Chain A
Amino acid sequence: MKISQTEEQTLLSQSISRYLADRYDDAARRRAEAQACGYDRDTWTEIAELGWLGASVGESAGGFGGPREMAIVLEGAGRAMMAEPLVTACLALSILEAADPSHGSLPGLLSGNSMACGLAAQAGSGLSVTGRNGSRVLSGRFPTVHAGAAADLLVLALPDIAVALDPAARGIDMRAFRGMDGRRYADIVFRDVPLDDGSVLCEGETARPVADRASQVFSVATAAEASGIAARLFEETLAYVAQREQFGQPIGRFQALQHRLADMYVAVEEARSLALAAARSAEDDEAPGRAVSQAVVGTVDRALHVAKEAIQLHGGVGMTEDLPLGAGLRRIKVLQLMPGGAEDHRKRLTT
């Protein structure tokens, strides 16, 4: 049996923690959210140089990792509640890796000079590829794509075809908006977008495993980020009840609150376990199954519980933007409600 991290993975995790401690506090998050594109491009190149993007793909695609390493990156990003579009970018890299590991865009994406958004079929609606005048066109809609309007490339994994498109291509419309988590999103509409040989990454039988891979990676990333946020909110709360004094003692001495903290701790540990299970499933290249859906639902439910308890146990100050608790709650709510998020997985599990 071997579940725990390898030495390399531990080093990666430590280097992420160090960077975040030095460079990414709540003020940095707020500054990133205030940018027109919703994140900080200098931070993006810095974390790319540190290998955060390369961690999500293997050597054949120019990286050094896989789903487990990507999960380590996203757990760290979750802890810091980073506004940078890591989930969508890692998804794009994973699709490219699975469909065409020598794709010309990869070096630029891995170095952080450009940014691609990955679109997994499960997050889209009304998607179709049809023949027209001897060529093919793509139609459909991807709502709520994180940083969609800032993308240099859109990488789509559909059941029968994977494509990489220039966002400026004819037939692609975007409407950008701010989300409740403070990030920038875009609803992307594809209307008879021509697919030429240059844009098709793979199709037919080879496309299905790519789509499965995209679905798995999206789930792993969501679960990992949720577990990172939960861990952060729990740690904030644990520190607070130790220092906040009322009735002549730290409130953490009250047994009623100790039990609530104990339950939060258990929820965080289980969220971590579920996120790990999802990552292992993807590492083993399993097709998306019930266990991964359960992992997404389970981590997000636990993180939501932790976020609400964190606010309640902080009292009034928990309701303010002076602390990152509200930001955590809002991000988890997005992970729950977004297309392809926890609620979609729950639906799949119960129907």
Chain B
Amino acid sequence: MDAGWSPSDIAFREEVRAFTRESLPADIRDKVMSGRPLARTDHMRWQDVLADRGWIAGFWPQRFGGCDWTPAQSYIFQEETTYAGAPWLLPFGVNYVGPVIYTYGTEEQKARHLPGIVSNEVFWCQGYSEPNAGSDLARLSTRADRDGDSYIVNGSKIWTSMAHWADWIFALVRTDARSKPQAGISFLLIDLRSPGVTIRPIRSIEGAHHLNQVFFDNVRVPVENRVGDENRGWTYAKFLLGHERVLSAEVGKGKRMLDRLRTIADRSGIADSHRYRERLNQLETDLLALEWTTLRMLEAVMDGSAPGYEASLLKLRGSTLVQAIAEATADALGPEAIPYDPACLEEGTNDPGDELARHMGIVSEFLFQRAPTIWGGSNEIQRNIISKHALGLG
């Protein structure tokens, strides 16, 4: 099966593959392959490597520090690096706030914020969800009241991945409480060192800490840190959500995880069992369907005929597939999946040589992979989008 890649795409794939093979630190690759959690420094080391190569924001326009990659090149880059065991390229700066800034920001904002993303020096996080505004994001209530040249921000954001590692947060805030929910929202860039910001860790079901709640107590934010017009933040938020979804890396990740499942099954002696083979076949089929749906959507994006809801379809299937592979992998371990101690997975204390700790990363992934069907617009919301926009049912 050949998707009809151009010679330059094929050459680019070779280039990415060779680069990743040579440049991805072995210890980081081992962590990713075994499912162990990455430390901030692991992410930063790999992203420094990419920044040095000029590939951290490859799909950005060249004038902002990118490479003008086509969507095909972005896809190839993601598939190859992910399959090879590279860490998830943290999207908060590169994929989310960066494009919002270069599309809607002022010249001053571009000059101030884009270089720090391209050089991997500034760590961003995303302030969207709130305790009472999850799926119904437009009802968010964190407010920003104008006071001279500043906004005074009060409220809190939740499920903020890696806020405890971040320097800046981009946040949706309410600047007009009287108009319709979507019409009173603005998009602010907030320095997390500002007085009045506190970060509460949230422990998730695999026992690790990557989620947080971020509180704003009379935090003063200069008006110049608002991107775009006041009360038009919803437009920018939707633009960003499109980026969040279309750049899913599930195909490469799915292939990598299936390789590992096959290895574990071969070793544990279940590879010949009927139940395992049926399950593996199902997962492989689902991955093939996801890959070729992704390729079709990619082609549509490039020739301008994408319907606009393609990302919802890919998110729906990609998240459930990765979730299913993660569970099948834990199941393939059988009773060996039972030993698990989050403390053993904390940085510095995990000894992969310890027989009991060997598979803890796989257990951690099985548990944590319940999240992708919830985040980024839950799968229920994606189904709403499909039924409304693709099927005209609402």
Contact = CB atoms under 8 A, between A and B. Distances in A.
A308 B370 contact: yes
Given A178-B341, A330-B367, A319 B335 contact: no
B205 interface: yes
Given A312-B370, A350-B274, A321 B205 contact: yes
Interface in B166-206: 202-206
Given A334-B338, A337-B331, A320 B275 contact: no
A144 B374 CA distance: 32
A350 B275 contact: yes
B330 interface: yes
Given A180-B340, A316-B375, A329 B135 contact: no
Contacts, number: 104
Given A256-B380, A346-B275, A333 B339 contact: no
Given A246-B134, A346-B275, A144 B338 contact: yes
A180 B211 contact: no
A179 B335 CA distance: 10
A339 B129 CA distance: 42
Interface in A302-326: 308, 311-312, 315-316, 318-322, 325-326
Contacts of A339: 335
B374 A315 contact: yes
B280 to A, nearest CB: 16
A311 B370 CA distance: 8
B374 to A, nearest CB: 5
Contact of B339 (A177, A311, A312): A177
B331 A343 contact: yes
Given A325-B205, A337-B331, A337-B334, A319 B339 contact: no
Contacts of A178: 339-341
B271 interface: no
A137 interface: no
A52 B190 CA distance: 56
B338 A320 contact: no
Given A329-B367, A343-B334, A177 B274 contact: no
A127 interface: no
A327 to B, nearest CB: 8
- 10 cross-chain pairs, A with B, having the tightest CB-CB distances, nearest first: A326-B205, A180-B340, A246-B136, A178-B341, A316-B159, A321-B203, A177-B339, A179-B338, A247-B136, A319-B204
16 contacts: A178-B340, A180-B337, A180-B339, A180-B363, A247-B135, A251-B135, A308-B370, A316-B134, A316-B375, A318-B374, A319-B374, A320-B203, A320-B205, A321-B203, A321-B204, A337-B338
Interface of B: 129, 132-136, 139, 158-159, 202-207, 211, 273-275, 330-331, 333-335, 337-341, 356, 363, 366-367, 370-371, 373-375, 378-380, 383
